[in-house]
Amino acid sequence: MTGFGQCEVSGSDYRITFEIKTFNSRFLDISVRLSKELASLEVFVRNRVREKVRRGRVEALINLQTSEAGLFQINREAVASYCALAEDLRKEFQIDGNLTLAMLLQLPGVLQARSPSFFQDMQAFQERVREGLMAALDAVATMRREEGDHLERELLDRILGAENLLAEVESFVDASTARYRDRLWQRLEEYTAAAGVNPDRISQEVAIFAERGDISEEIVRLRSHFTQFRALLEAGGEVGKKLDFLLQEMNRETNTILSKSLHQKISESGVLLKAEVEKLREQVQNIE
């Protein structure tokens, strides 16, 4: 299911932004993009995502920005030393001129790179990353849950439609079997009268052939699958794979009904039933 979540956490000299997007997919596929300073946390991020998402494509973007003002510090001891040496030179050699700020900043050792605060306590920094990541994942979960509620209602409506179509198929079973048997028997009677075939033997063959078109078992199994489908939806949790398996079985039973069909109305309703099962299966691919 689709979802989007974002969050931001900050420290004295850094800011981290989190963006998590999820898309429909049959399998779990995680893509992680991190600022180079956060590269060591990729496994950590993937594991946290797996705790929250079981199915779908996940894109996680985590960006770290550091404060430029905190990147450097002044080495005051070096400045004092340079100034003292300059004053000694000026007095000793009677050199005119003053040491300016611009000159000082260009001297070696005056400006020193400062390590960002998160390098000083990586454990605390990782906890901040975890807080931000989990907040973004929680937002994704909320959005996916809302979509899941909508999807559940749609699936229940479709399973009801499938049940109604199955009821239509069932309503034609007895009439179609009887009509087929009568039509076949009539034709065989005409043939046996001319050919002198034993009527009892023909009656037996008619019964066997008509039995091959019996779809009562398929109807019973389909109705059972529909009941299990509803129960799984109501139970909640990670039911996507179970629902997918059930729909494979529904599709198999529907195909058998169509292959055995002895009546045009059964074929028509069976085709619609198969289409409904296919639509259900498409939607179930998006459920964890």
Q: What is the DSSP string of 63-94?
A: EEEE-GGGSEEE-HHHHHHHHHHHHHHHHHHT
Write out pLDDT tens, residues 151-191.
888 999 999 999 999 999 888 877 666 666 666 667 666 66
**pLDDT value, residue 206:** 59
Mean pLDDT score, 25-29: 84
Distance CA 7, CA 136 (A): 5
Distance CA 251, CA 257 (A): 10
Question: Nearest Cα to 246, choosing from 269, 277, 218?
Answer: 277
Residue 284 banded pLDDT, cuts 50, 70, 90? confident
Write out pLDDT tens, residues 49-107.
998 888 889 999 999 887 655 567 788 888 888 888 888 888 888 788 777 888 888 88
Task: Report all structural domains of the chain as residue ranges with CATH numbers, in order of start.
Answer: 3-66+121-143 (3.30.230), 72-113 (no CATH), 146-284 (1.20.140)
Residue 243 confidence (pLDDT) above 80:
yes
Question: Nearest Cα to 20, choosing from 35, 36, 31, 9?
Answer: 31
For residue 2, which phi and psi values (nearest 5 degrees)?
A: -85, 150
Look over the chain and give the mean of its residue pLDDT values, rounded to a whole number. 83
Distance CA 228, CA 274 (A): 18
Burial of 194 (0-12, 13-18, 19+ CB in 10 A): exposed
CA distances from 268 to 115, 157, 249, 272 (A): 74, 21, 20, 7
For residue 196, which phi and psi values (nearest 5 degrees)?
A: 75, 35
Sheet of 3-10: strand order equals: 3-10, 14-23, 56-66, 28-34
